[in-house]
Chains A and B, each alone.
Chain A
Amino acid sequence: MLADNRIKTVTSLEAAPAELPTKGRSLWRDAGRRFMANKAALTSLIVLIGVVLFTIVGPYFAKWSIEKVDWSVVGNVLHAGAPSLETGHYFGTDEVGRDLYSRVIQGTQISLLVGLVGSAIAVIVGTIYGAVAGYFGGRLDSAMMRLVDIIYSIPYMFILILLLIVFGRSFIMLFVGIGLISWLGMSRVVRGQTLTLKNREFVEAAIATGSKPRDVIFRHIVPNLLGIVAIYATLLVPEMILLESFISFLGLGVQEPNTSLGALISEGAQTMQYGTYWQLAFPLVFFITILFTFFFVGDGLRDALDPKDR
């Protein structure tokens, strides 16, 4: 969004001629072109791809696993555990002598995964929920939206903590906990969008020709929501990663020896005043990079697709 190259005149989602999937493609091509012209978004995308590639290629250069303790470092982390090419701890070690290079890579993978799965849940549940509510309208709509309001009014942190306490810590619970919250906003956005789409000619035509509601929703409405869903999902990823870091900070994140950037940062923040700066610096740099790039890519997408509603 730094270089905000909004092009007012060109097609917005509202005006998209979306009756036929083939024509829809040109919308995407236009958007792609606009996105490529947005330098900040493009740079961010490249950096982000770089980070992802690093998490894939990086492990081949690691000399230590994520859990192996370097006994020669134990008890003297401040000096022996500093980043060094010789020891193979490129990013230094953590407080018990485990290699931070490997752990940061794994933490990045998990944080990205949490972000992606969180927003995937939002996309699937939120889109269907919002589309159904918006399409059918009336009582069903107000009941469904009332439910969203109710869930919104529950302090989410409380539910998250309770869920993790009741069902224990695990990857799955983390995803469920995050997904439970993430879809709410999406469903509202999608519902609003559906309400306007519903009255458009192509939808009315489909209904008039006797298509079943399910077909109308999945063939005609959902495809036309993809733009806004994509933007919203991209912007959700950094929010989910931030949320995960908070959960890790509360001590309710993934189980050892697995780790996430949030967990690493939380550990690093505790020892920063003792001179082991690398325990905070490396995970934090990755964390910030990911969040920055996702924000810019999300904004770039929004500008490229230029919907009126957010």
Chain B
Amino acid sequence: MIQFILKRLAVAIPTLLVLIVVSFFLMKMAPGNPFAGEKTVPQSVLDNIYARYGLDKPEWQQLAEYIYNVVFRFDFGPSFQYRDRTVNDIIAQGFPVTFTYGAWAFVAASVIGIALGVVAAVRQNSWADYLSVGFSIGAQVVPNFVMAPILVLVFTLWLRWLPGGGWNGGHWSNVVLPVVALATSYFANIARITRSSMLEVLGSNYIRTARAKGLPGWKVIFGHALRPALLPVVSYLGPVFVGMVTGSVVIDLYFSTGGIGQAFVNSALNRDYSTILGITILLGALTITANLVVDVLYAWIDPKIEL
């Protein structure tokens, strides 16, 4: 197991390096520069800014210094867009926010999605089945950029129950709407996968045997069927987790949470090279870690799998 993890980590490093290099050059290919605005800045001023951020050096040197700083000093450099902040600052501020609502949304989506899926499978072809599948797909097909403003209209303007945005240091009332808006887009797939794998397990011989032994229905389901049925769900949850703690542009945009998603899109649109790279590395590392965790979990759930 440990050997497996080490091996995967060894592969992760070149993967991240490739990621940095590709992102760096793609970024440089994009037209525009981080310091351009509606009003043109004189060349002498631009020269000073370029010198300040080392952008006057050859690109390979910029890249080499960047990688050096990241690897040996864990320094992602200054942001070009937020002039009095470093990329470390931006990540330190934005990531906990994104992670908080992302993790809650992940928990909510997993619990509700799996519950819906199990109910649908156990009561196959009943109204409960139709309702849970219909509900989960219904929640997914409404894009969250429609869901978010609707939630705000209902819960902020009409009912006055919850604030329509802001983070407020992670106060629960500010967290609820982002979590709901984000979680709903993931119910359906989790429920669908749970349902079909549950059905398969329920149809298998050993469950029939368990039932034949006269074990009560819920004990069969939770004691014997659920664990193997969750295998495909777990492999799906890895990417979902990454998606939730990263793909939060819509949430950040509508709820002004100050998360990493908005910082990411903003820095891409403003050509804030260092922030883009910093966040890309963070997200890449997260993805790799999440995939690793999924594989370990997989082995834990299904001892037959060898790592």
Contacts and interface: CB of A to CB of B under 8 A. Distances in A.
Q: Is chain B in direct contact with chain A in the complex (CB below 8 A)?
A: yes
Contacts of B195: 1, 4
A250 B265 contact: yes
B143 A280 contact: no
A157 B145 contact: no
Interface string B274-304: 0010011001100110010000000000000
B96 interface: no
Contact of B141 (A2, A272, A292): A292
A272 B133 CA distance: 28
A46 B291 CA distance: 39
Given A2-B129, A6-B199, A265 B146 contact: yes
A166 B146 contact: no
Given A155-B280, A165-B31, A273-B153, A249 B19 contact: no
Interface in B244-266: 246-247, 249-250, 264-265
A1 B196 contact: yes
B26 to A, nearest CB: 5
A214 interface: no
- Interface SS of B by simple majority: helix
Contacts of A280: 146
B145 A249 contact: yes
Contacts of B226: none
Interface in A215-251: 238, 242, 245-246, 249-250
A272 B140 CA distance: 20
A8 B63 CA distance: 57
A161 B249 CA distance: 12
Contacts of B269: 161, 165
Contacts of A155: 246-247, 264, 279-280, 283-284, 287
Interface of A: 1-4, 6, 8, 146, 149-150, 152-155, 157-159, 161-163, 165-166, 238, 242, 245-246, 249-250, 262, 265-266, 269-270, 272-273, 280, 284, 287-288, 291-292, 295, 299, 302, 310
Given A152-B239, A269-B149, A273-B149, 10 more contacts: A1-B195, A150-B15, A150-B18, A152-B287, A162-B30, A242-B143, A250-B249, A266-B145, A291-B140, A302-B196
6 A-B pairs closest in CB distance:
A291-B141, A153-B287, A155-B283, A165-B30, A269-B146, A162-B26
Interface of B: 11, 15-16, 18-19, 22-23, 26-27, 29-31, 124-125, 129-130, 133-134, 137-138, 140-143, 145-146, 149-150, 153, 188, 192-193, 195-196, 199, 203, 232, 239, 246-247, 249-250, 264-265, 268-269, 276, 279-280, 283-284, 287-288, 291
